[in-house]
């Protein structure tokens, strides 16, 4: 069994925030792979299904971003899984909008959700970094991530979430480079190639 956790803040007021793109991506996965409804468990919302023949639990922690590790830790402990079974989807300021990078371990780059998860379960889990761009000034970051995507951005946001869902079987098979390539090719085909360039 694998756990794919999308990060965000709970509640309607945060639903379209840049910080919530992890929630948006797992919602797209649940829809794209015909998962069951999300139910309240492990201080989060959980939906179970299969991707690429593998049993997958999609998790949206409902603890607020800076306590995400509590929900992730409960989930892994209950299912007796270690961090090798965990993939976390999160917003990434240091990537251009619609760019995707996958890495295992490494630093948390000031991301409170990742910091919390690493504190609860260790650092050796896979992160799918979903680029949202940077406001250009460190002082503006807090308001930037907690503000909604602009109307003009929703096209690439929806295309990115759909592409992540479509490529998810590669993620499940540990084909991280192929997953990245498939997502970027899908975005180019949808007309968002420029957004996805470095």
Catalytic residues, by residue number, are 19
CA atoms within 13 A on the CB side of 188: 7
Residue 58 near residue 30, CB atoms below 8 Å: yes
Exposure string of 70-94, with b = 16+ CB inside 10 Å and e = fewer, is bbbbbbbeeeebebebbbbbbbbbe
The Cα 99–Cα 192 span in angstroms is: 10
Q: Could you give the 3-state DSSP secondary structure of residue 48?
A: strand
Phi–psi pair at 7, nearest 5 degrees: -100, 150
């Amino acid at each position: 069994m694998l756990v794919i956790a999308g990060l965000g803040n709970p509640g309607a007021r945060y639903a379209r925030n840049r910080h919530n793109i992890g929630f948006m991506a797992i919602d797209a996965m649940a829809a794209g792979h015909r998962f069951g409804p999300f139910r309240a468990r492990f201080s989060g919302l959980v939906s179970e299904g299969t991707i690429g023949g593998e049993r997958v639990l999609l998790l949206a922690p409902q603890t607020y971003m800076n306590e995400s590790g509590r929900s992730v830790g409960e989930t892994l402990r209950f299912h007796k899984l270690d961090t090798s079974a965990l993939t976390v989807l999160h917003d990434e300021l240091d990537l251009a909008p619609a760019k995707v990078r996958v890495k295992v371990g490494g630093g948390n780059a000031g991301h409170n959700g990742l910091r919390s998860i690493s504190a609860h379960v260790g650092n050796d889990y896979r992160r799918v970094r979903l680029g949202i761009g940077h406001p250009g000034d460190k002082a503006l970051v807090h308001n930037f991530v907690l503000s909604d995507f602009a109307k003009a951005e929703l096209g690439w946001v929806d295309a990115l979430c759909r592409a992540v869902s479509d490529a998810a079987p590669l993620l499940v098979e540990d084909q991280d480079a192929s997953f990245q390539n498939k997502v970027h090719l899908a975005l180019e085909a949808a007309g968002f190639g420029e957004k996805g360039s470095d």
